[in-house]
Amino acid sequence: MLSNRAARRLLGMSYKLSNSKRRVTISLLKLNDDKHQIPESLSHSSFISVKRDTSSGKTTYHPGSAFYPKYLNINQ
């Protein structure tokens, strides 16, 4: 049986990074969304994960394999 966080990662759903960092949320980004400024190095990726920290207001972009490796292996 998987934990809730592991199951959400496997399904590609958003999740909180850890219990101690409750304000940090990880999610997958839709590529046709124009309101995000995606870095040039990630503009050709098929999946992009977004890390949002609500306490500091920072949003960082990462390759999808950084936070969702099993989801990408299943859905490619």
Q: What is the pTM of this model?
A: 0.78
Question: Is the Cβ–Cβ distance between 58 and 72 less than 8 Å?
Answer: no
Res 53: pLDDT: 93
For residue range 44-55, list pLDDT tens digits in order. 888 889 999 998
**Beta carbons within 10 angstroms of residue 54's beta carbon:** 11
